């Protein structure tokens, strides 16, 4: 999945123990350019080392992953981020994706899958875990007033819904492609489109929903 | 406004007019009244002060009457019972005492007057007031015996509040006595001379305040900081206790079982779930609906079968028969998947207008659903049968890269 060359990454997480765990798992699969344990350190390091992908913890003291993305994006707009979190709170996940992360995976992911996800983000695609797919389906389920709908951003197409459902059911991209008789590339295109909608939609539900969800979770 | 209102809450079981010393400032007459009228106590208090001014103080007498006549909240006797006057009922006792002493004084004075042993009517009210105030203060100082107070404060979580109330009552007593003194002085035209003295006292007091203000302010801030620190320490102790009871215990267990990886994974999973629930707050209302029940079923399977189930649920609804049937069938499907395929198992459920759709997917070697092996007989009865009995359907797709069981059931009605 990681293509002909292995992508370079910077690892951002405020837990040393966790960083060393991830480093061990990714050894040989990707090129690790550096690690940072705080928001400021991370922003400086990313701007200096210019990695292909930043592996980013959602929860960090001093603002969290979204803050790192904001700090970097202004000066390095093309930087790609993959969020990595133990948090399943929709609020956190949606916040970091809307800030600009190109995907979200849970920390329990295997080293192999993580490397694959990094490769996918490196190629410009989006990485949706089943849980993120579920969040998005939930978030886009609510009705909103007709006159406020921007069909380009506020609604998911039938196909996109189908793809998300299959991802939520635990299908890998290539299995989704097989099931829907489309190419893996098309699946990736759908997922990227959903990611764009998630980031740009003005659906006020997205934030409201995330807050409500937090109450329930 | 006086007819009994329908019982609307826990305390509404008894809607008679009562004092509410727990929330009162002096004796809780007004807050009791406010509770009875479902009004904001603050408004009632303001109205009362206005009334006092308008009636030239007569309303105060009504207050005293209310204090003496109205029962306090019906409450279980406090464990610190012997500490007279410290509990909610103590306020009432104090009030009765003050009123009684006042009335007694009045009676004595009236008797003297009848007997001709009398020099001025101007003395009567000041004496009555002073006697009441003094009685209150005496009672107060008797109660603030430090040992008794400590017992009282330790036993009751609202110890601080009752301390505050005690201060208010004390201030009330002092005000009574001072008022009596002023009344007496003004009745005897002695205030002219007293005014000069009073001005001196006020000026000195002001000067002292100016001098001491920074010190007092600092003292107050230190006290506040100390309290905040105490609360922090308490919270830390609580967190430590929780971590000790949960995480540390689990870690100990894990160390003992280093040769049983499945057991360790199960322990870690359960601990993670528990800690997560604790961090988010009490598991909350999620447990009530379909989503909550399905999540719990998945957790039960995780625990019993030592597997991990990836749960994704979109939407939620209340748990009716159909929902319960889906949960039951899903639990059976997950158990099967755990037994025959192992981790990871994906559980996806979507609640929408079309009803509930649930998918349980494993990554085992798959099986031929036509020739169901004997061990999988549960599939027929517990999954397919159960869904069909409730008007739903179950479908099984098995390939060599895994099995997916799909459960469908229509929407309500």
Over range B355-382, report the average pLDDT.
73
How many Cβ contacts (< 8 angstroms) between chains A and B? 51
In chain A, ranges of CATH 3.40.50.2300 domains = 1-124
Residues 268-307 of B with CB under 8 A from A: 276, 280, 284-286
Distance between A77 CA and the closest CA of chain B, angstroms: 33
Q: For residue B152, is pLDDT > 50?
A: no
Q: How far is CA B199 from CA B6, B83, B95, B192, B410, in A?
A: 56, 41, 33, 11, 86
DSSP symbol at B122:
G
- pLDDT band at B287; cut points 50, 70, 90: low
- pLDDT band at B120; cut points 50, 70, 90: low
Q: What is the mean pLDDT of each run of 10 residues along chain A (217 residues)?
A: 70 85 86 86 88 86 78 86 79 81 84 88 87 84 64 79 91 90 91 86 60 47
Q: Taking CA atoms, what residue in B is nearest to A88?
A: B276
- A217 contact residues in B (CB cutoff 8 A): 280, 284, 286
Alpha helices by DSSP H, listed for A50-157, are 65-73, 90-99, 111-122, 130-139, 151-154
Strand order from edge to edge, sheet including A31-36 = A31-36, A8-12, A53-57, A80-85, A103-106, A127-128
Q: What are phi and psi of B296, to 5 degrees?
A: -65, -40
Total count of residues recorded for chain A: 217
Residues A203, A139 contacting (CB under 8 angstroms): yes
Q: What is the pLDDT of residues B170-227, one digit of tens each?
A: 788 788 888 877 777 777 666 666 677 778 888 888 888 888 888 888 888 888 888 8
DSSP-based three-state secondary structure for A180: helix
Q: What is the pLDDT of residues A21-56, one digit of tens each?
A: 888 888 888 888 888 888 888 888 888 888 999 988
Q: Is B281 left (phi over 0), alpha (psi -120 to 50) or beta?
A: left
Over range B148-164, report the average pLDDT.
49
For chain B, the structural domain boundaries read 11-193, 194-281, 283-409
B393-399/B345-352 β-pairing: unpaired
Longest dimension (CA), chain A: 52
A129/A127 Cα distance (integer angstroms): 7
Q: What is the pLDDT of residues B31-69, one digit of tens each?
A: 888 877 777 878 888 888 788 777 666 677 777 777 777
- A134 contact residues in B (CB cutoff 8 A): 312-314, 348
B402-409/B355-361 β-pairing: antiparallel
Task: State the CB neighbour count (10 A cutoff) for residue A217.
Answer: 17
Task: State the CB neighbour count (10 A cutoff) for residue B42.
Answer: 11
DSSP symbol at B21:
T
Fold observed for domain B283-409: Heat Shock Protein 90 (3.30.565)
More confident residue, B249 or B281: B249
Q: Which of A76, A72, A78, A82 is nearest to A43 (CA)?
A: A72
- Give the predicted TM-score (pTM) of the model: 0.57
Q: What is the pLDDT of residue B347?
A: 92
> Given this structure, which CATH class describes domain A126-217?
mainly alpha
Tell me whether residue B77 is exposed, middle or buried, using C-beta atoms within 10 angstroms of its C-beta: 0 to 12, 13 to 18, 19 or more: exposed
A167/A157 Cα distance (integer angstroms): 15
Alpha helices by DSSP H, listed for B244-359, are 249-256, 261-280, 290-305, 321-340
Residues 24-63 of B with CB under 8 A from A: none
Answer yes or no: CATH 3.40.50.2300 is held by domain A1-124: yes
Consecutive H or E run containing B51: helix B41-54
Q: Which of A181, A195, A29 is nearest to A127 (CA)?
A: A195
Cβ <8 Å between A169 and B359: yes
Residues of A with CB under 8 A from a CB of B: 88-89, 108, 130-131, 133-134, 137-138, 141, 165, 168-171, 175, 214-217
Distance between B351 CA and the closest CA of chain A, angstroms: 10
Tell me whether residue A154 is exposed, middle or buried, using C-beta atoms within 10 angstroms of its C-beta: 0 to 12, 13 to 18, 19 or more: middle
Q: How far is CA A144 from CA A148, A150, B269, in A?
A: 7, 10, 38
B127/B229 Cα distance (integer angstroms): 48
Cβ <8 Å between B280 and A89: yes
A134/A88 Cα distance (integer angstroms): 11
Residues B332, B305 contacting (CB under 8 angstroms): no
Cβ <8 Å between A169 and B313: no
> From the list A130, A169, A217, which residue is nearest B286 (CB)?
A217
A130/A166 Cα distance (integer angstroms): 8
B345-352/B355-361 β-pairing: antiparallel
Residues B185, B194 contacting (CB under 8 angstroms): yes
In chain A, ranges of CATH 1.10.10 domains = 126-217
């Amino acid at each position: 999945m990681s293509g002909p060359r292995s992508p370079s990454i910077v690892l951002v997480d405020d837990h040393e123990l966790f960083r060393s765990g991830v480093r061990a798992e990714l050894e040989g699969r990707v090129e690790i350019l550096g690690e940072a344990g705080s928001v400021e350190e991370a922003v400086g390091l990313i701007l200096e080392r210019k990695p292909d992908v930043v592996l980013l913890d959602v929860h960090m003291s001093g603002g969290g992953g979204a803050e790192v993305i904001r700090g970097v994006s202004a000066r390095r707009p093309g930087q790609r981020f993959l969020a990595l979190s133990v948090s399943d709170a929709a609020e956190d996940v949606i916040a970091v994706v809307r800030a600009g992360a190109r995907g979200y995976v849970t920390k329990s992911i295997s080293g192999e899958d993580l490397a694959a996800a990094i490769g996918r983000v490196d190629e410009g695609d989006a990485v949706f875990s089943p849980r993120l797919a579920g969040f998005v389906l939930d978030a886009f389920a609510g009705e909103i007033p007709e006159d406020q709908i921007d069909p380009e951003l506020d609604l998911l197409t039938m196909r996109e819904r189908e793809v998300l459902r299959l991802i939520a059911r635990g299908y890998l991209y290539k299995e989704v492609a097989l099931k829907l008789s489309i190419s893996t590339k098309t699946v990736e295109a759908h997922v990227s489109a959903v990611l764009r909608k998630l980031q740009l939609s003005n659906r006020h539900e997205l934030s409201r929903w995330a807050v409500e969800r937090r109450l329930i979770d | 406004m006086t007819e009994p209102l329908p019982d609307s809450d826990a305390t509404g079981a008894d809607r008679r007019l009562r004092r509410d010393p727990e929330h009162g400032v002096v004796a809780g007459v007004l807050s009791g009244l406010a509770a009875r009228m479902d009004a904001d106590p603050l408004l009632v208090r303001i109205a009362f002060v206005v009334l006092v001014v308008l009636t030239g103080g007569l309303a105060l007498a009504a207050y005293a009457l209310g204090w003496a006549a109205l029962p306090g909240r019906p409450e279980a006797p406090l464990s610190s019972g012997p500490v007279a006057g410290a509990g909610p009922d103590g306020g009432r006792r104090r009030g009765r005492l003050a009123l009684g002493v006042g009335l007694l004084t009045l009676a004595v004075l009236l008797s003297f007057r009848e007997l001709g042993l009398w020099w001025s009517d101007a003395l009567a009210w000041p004496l009555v007031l002073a006697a009441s105030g003094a009685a209150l203060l005496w009672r107060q100082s008797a109660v603030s015996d430090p040992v008794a107070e400590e017992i009282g404060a330790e036993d009751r979580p609202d110890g601080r509040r009752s301390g505050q109330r005690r201060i208010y009552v004390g201030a009330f007593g002092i005000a009574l006595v001072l008022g009596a003194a002023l009344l007496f002085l003004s009745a005897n035209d002695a205030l002219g001379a007293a005014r000069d003295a009073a001005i001196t006292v006020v000026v000195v007091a002001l000067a002292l305040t100016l001098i001491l203000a920074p010190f007092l302010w600092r003292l107050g801030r230190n006290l506040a900081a100390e309290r905040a620190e105490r609360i922090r320490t308490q919270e830390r102790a609580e967190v430590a206790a929780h971590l000790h009871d949960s995480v540390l215990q689990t870690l100990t267990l894990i160390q003992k079982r280093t040769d049983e990886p499945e057991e360790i994974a199960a322990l870690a999973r359960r601990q993670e779930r528990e800690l997560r629930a604790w961090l988010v707050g009490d598991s909350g209302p999620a447990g009530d609906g379909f989503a909550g029940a399905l999540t719990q079923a998945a957790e039960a399977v995780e625990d019993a079968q030592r597997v991990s189930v990836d749960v994704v649920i979109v939407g939620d609804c209340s748990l009716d028969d159909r929902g319960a049937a889906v949960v039951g069938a899903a639990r059976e499907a997950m158990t099967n998947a755990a037994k025959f395929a192992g981790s990871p198992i994906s559980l996806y459920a979507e609640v929408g207008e079309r009803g509930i759709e649930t998918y349980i997917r494993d990554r085992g070697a798959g099986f031929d659903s036509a020739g169901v092996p004997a061990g999988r007989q549960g599939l027929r009865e517990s999954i397919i049968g159960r869904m069909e009995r409730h008007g739903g359907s179950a479908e099984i797709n098995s390939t060599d890269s895994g099995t997916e069981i799909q459960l469908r059931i229509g929407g309500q009605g």
